[in-house]
Amino acid sequence: MIETTRSRMTSERLVDHALSVDWSALPASVRADALRLLYDAVVVGIGGARATHGDELLHVVQGWGAAADQNCGVLGRPGVRLPAPSAAFINAFQTHGQEFDSVHEGAVLHPLPTIMPVLMAEAERSGPYPGSEILAAMVAGTDVSVTLGVAATSPIQFFRPATAGIFGSVAALCRLRRLDRETTLNALGYALAFSSGTMQAHTEGKPALPVQVANAARNAIQAVDIAVAGLSGPIDSVTGPFGYLTLFEKNHDLTDALDRLGRDFRISEVCVKPYPSGRATHGGVVAALNLRQAHALSGEQVVAATYRAPALIRHLVGRESHPGMAVSHARLCLPYLIAVALTRGAVSLSDFTPAALSDASVLDLASRIVVTVDDNPDPAAFIPAELSLTLADGRTVREPVTAQLGSPAYPLSREQQLAKGYACLDFAGLAALHEPLAALMDRFDTLTDGAEAFRLAHGAI
């Protein structure tokens, strides 16, 4: 009985915090981070309209709902209307489908690809909601999903952007809808019932990875709708004997994570990705670009390369490159991405086309790049790391990695973030939309109807 009471308190503390988040009471720095990260999620989702398999998946999803329910739009796809759960599904797929979405490194999860599409669908389905309310809900949901992620003390075994992600999305949606405590607890119970996501898709580099994120977003809307209808859900959804952390993580410790609720807002810990690839690749990419510039290198001058890093890096992105590899494999292949950086001097959305993936010079260099493991005991560590290059003239040059570009410790500049946004919209054929969209997103918290920005993001120029 003591254990059951403690487990219930975990769910209740998460719910009480999420429902209490108030935009006007947040520190100015947190509000600025939320605006910046909402912009990033939206532009990445627009660029994802060109994600591999996106058109095929949209065709499938368009068969899931009746025409009368098609009241929500899709990022970067003018004229496409879907029911709210289906719109959240496609927008979540697009936001994660090119591995360009923001990430919380300590939690090893992407909180916004589930949360943002859910809030966007709700804003269109049931609004108007003020922009400040949508942002407050986003902050609340991020706190919940990240709290579950950082509580894990053992290596990742399920795909947290989907599994922890649905909990954050449900909490965000309940906060936006101003639901009561009991309904929100029941909704989290259905989040547990609907939670799924395997790391096998990541290991094999399959498009099932973003589909799992999409499924979490859709399921979050359905979980809340079911709770609102009056169906009770499991209350011990987080640490009960068959709760989320008990089933999905081998070991966990919630003490510090729960104590930080309301004191440290996790949205300010989320990293913006500078490259459209797995976050675990970014340290190696930046190190390669730095060495290339510092020593005026070309790919032809590199005989071999080694990226020595914590075990998580090899687990996530230490895979080998090969001719004919799928786009989803390439985005999670550090040898390929280091080779691209050394050969082309950049990593961009255009580096994942069939022509780019079949570049013989890049593939040859990638075959001589290895990822090795250091003695870091932290199962969630991305840094420190080091890239060493053996050159044709016999020299060995090294670049340490002590911070990840786009992290709070090494943030993108305003200009870099806007350049990323422009690149995403340009990739989707909507470059003309960028300036008015960026201006609207800058004042999103002042909008009386946040869906105004989302409707523009659908692509109507």
- pLDDT digit string (tens) for 349-394? 999 999 999 999 999 999 999 999 999 999 889 999 999 999 999 9
Looking only at the bridges linking them, the beta strands covering 385-391 and 396-401 are antiparallel
**CA distance readout (Å), 50 to 15, 85, 91:** 36, 21, 12
Q: Is the pTM of this model over 0.75?
A: yes
**CA distance readout (Å), 387 to 217, 309, 370, 384:** 37, 9, 10, 11
**b/e per residue 169-207 (b: at least 16 CB within 10 A):** bbbbbbbbbebeeebbbbbbbbbbebbebbbebbeebeb
**For position 147, what pLDDT does the model report?**
97
Please report the DSSP string for 39-99 in residue order.
HHHHHHHHHGGGSTTHHHHHHHHTTSS-GGG--EEETTEEEEEE-HHHHHHHHHHHHHTTS
d(CA 223, CA 227): 6
Residue 145 pLDDT more than 90? yes
Could you report the per-residue pLDDT of 220-262, keeping only the tens digit for each? 999 999 999 999 999 999 999 999 999 999 999 999 999 999 9
Residue 319 gets which letter from DSSP? P
**For position 423, what pLDDT does the model report?**
96
Q: For residue 391, what is the enclosing H or E element?
A: strand 385-391
Q: Phi/psi of residue 67, each to 5°?
A: -60, -35
d(CA 222, CA 232): 14
Q: What is the mean pLDDT of residues 169-173?
A: 98
Q: SS3 of 459, please?
A: coil
2-274+438-457: CATH, from 2.40.340.10, 1.10.4100.10, 3.40.190.150, 3.30.2130.10: 1.10.4100.10
**For position 250, what pLDDT does the model report?**
93
Q: What is the mean pLDDT of residues 412-425?
A: 96
Residue (of 248, 372, 271) closest to 40 by Cα position: 271
Residue 173 pLDDT more than 70? yes
Q: What is the mean pLDDT of residues 118-128?
A: 95
- On whether the CB atoms of residues 55 and 76 are closer than 8 A, the answer is no
Could you report the per-residue pLDDT of 58-81, keeping only the tens digit for each? 999 998 876 667 789 999 999 999
Q: Is the peptide bond before 128 cis (omega within 30 degrees of 0)?
A: yes
Cα 345 off chain centre by = 25
Q: For residue 322, what is the enclosing H or E element?
A: none
At which residue do the structure tokens 């999305």 appear? 169
Cα 106 off chain centre by = 13
Question: Using only C-alpha atoms, what is the Rg of the chain?
Answer: 21
Residue 1 pLDDT more than 50? no
Superfamily in which the 279-401 domain is placed by CATH:
2-methylcitrate dehydratase PrpD (3.30.1330.120)
Residue 303 pLDDT more than 90? yes
**For position 192, what pLDDT does the model report?**
97
d(CA 447, CA 385): 43
Percent of the chain topping pLDDT 70: 97
All structural domains of the chain with their residue ranges: 2-274+438-457, 279-401
Structure tokens at 5: 């009471």
As a dihedral over the C-alpha atoms of residue 292, residue 295, residue 298, residue 303, rounded to 10 degrees, the angle is -100
